[in-house]
Amino acid sequence: MALLTVSDLKVHYPVRGGFFRRVVGEVKAVDGISFELRRGETYGLVGESGCGKTTTGRAIIGLIEATSGNILLEETTLTKRSRREHPHYRKDIQMIFQDPYSSLNPRKRVLDIVAEPLRNFERMSPQEEKKKVQQFIEKVGLHPEALLKYPHEFSGGQRQRIGIARALMLNPKIIIADEPVSALDVSVQAQVLNFLKDIQQEFQLTYLLISHDLGMIRHMCDRIGIMYRGRLVEEGTAHDLFHSPQHIYAKRLISAIPNLNPHERLEQKMLRQQMEQQFEETRHHYFDREGRAHPLKRLSDTHSAAIL
């Protein structure tokens, strides 16, 4: 059974305009996506800027209310009400944010930042709380002295580790990591990603990793969903998606990743040439008149062969 099931999720934002700020339209940020997270896996949600990845993550965690659709955690439908009445659903899904600089309160000490989830959800004595925070701070590779310091006294990678310690405090089942390393130096990115991999088994975590960086998603994920303009246009294992992408948008995205090996680079070059030529010709198969992607996943082999 899936740990989390997202069915036909839609999030439409109202667009306001005019003197009275009336609603004059809507942005279909997420427009009917369905996927599931299996226990213990890393699922990557990838796509270009503005395709709705962050909105999807925020709707799952309950920071944004969905316009329609269903989010099921094991057997429970997550709604505003169920999250309010059963706080443990809020504990079960935690988030690591993109920017470790702005996601930590600069006026609070690390002890208070990391203890915050405990104070919201659990009753502990100050001594127990400090002990637990210290244990997690050490777990993420920081010195116990860090507890008394402020966020500006740490490097970007260390701050992201503090964010990870905070996310782990309530023993969550799922961690949503939205661009967890894009604000960090390239040299530190690998360390943080490897650290996330290392703790996955120990804490029995399932990850939803959100990024526009297909190279990183490939390195980290078991399964990947490709989003385009609010829809999931293709989904598959990392291997299938990188070796035989089916949807034209997935092919274009994959044909543009740098840092492949020479053999893959040649394949990529040929793929790219074919893509550029075919994209315009076959556009109507994939996009409607307004340029929105059809909600299709994998095409039949015959169909994709015809397009190639």
169 binds ligand ATP (CB under 6 A): no
CA-CA-CA-CA dihedral for 47, 225, 78, 294, to nearest 10? 80
Which tokens in the block code for residue 307? Answer: 């397009």
Instruction: Show the binding pattern over residues 67-86: x = contacts ligand ATP (CB under 6 A), - = does not.
Output: --------------------
Q: How many whole angstroms separate alpha carbon 206 and alpha carbon 156? A: 24
Which tokens in the block code for residue 185? Answer: 């130096």
Helix (H) or strand (E) holding 277: helix 262-281
- Would strands 223-228 and 68-73 be described as parallel, antiparallel, or unpaired? unpaired
103 binds ligand ATP (CB under 6 A): no
Which is nearer to ligand ATP, 257 or 307 (by Cβ)? 257
Q: Find the shortest distance in angstroms from Cβ 280 to ligand ATP.
A: 24
Instruction: Show the binding pattern over residues 2-21: x = contacts ligand ATP (CB under 6 A), - = does not.
Output: -----------x--------
Phi, psi (rounded to 5 degrees) for 59: -70, -40
Among 5, 67, 60, 2, which residue's Cα sits nearest to residue 32?
67
Which is nearer to ligand ATP, 47 or 117 (by Cβ)? 47
Q: 3-class DSSP state for residue 267? A: helix
55 binds ligand ATP (CB under 6 A): yes
| Interacting span for ligand ATP (CB under 6 A) from 49-57, 121-129, 200-208, 288-296 | 49-57
| Interacting span for ligand ATP (CB under 6 A) from 50-58, 114-122, 258-266, 274-282 | 50-58
229 binds ligand ATP (CB under 6 A): no
What is the footprint of ligand ATP within residues 175-214 (CB under 6 A)? 212
First to last CA, the chain: 36
53 binds ligand ATP (CB under 6 A): yes
Q: 3-class DSSP state for residue 254? A: helix
**Binding site residues, ligand ATP, CB under 6 A:** 13, 27, 29, 47, 49-55, 212
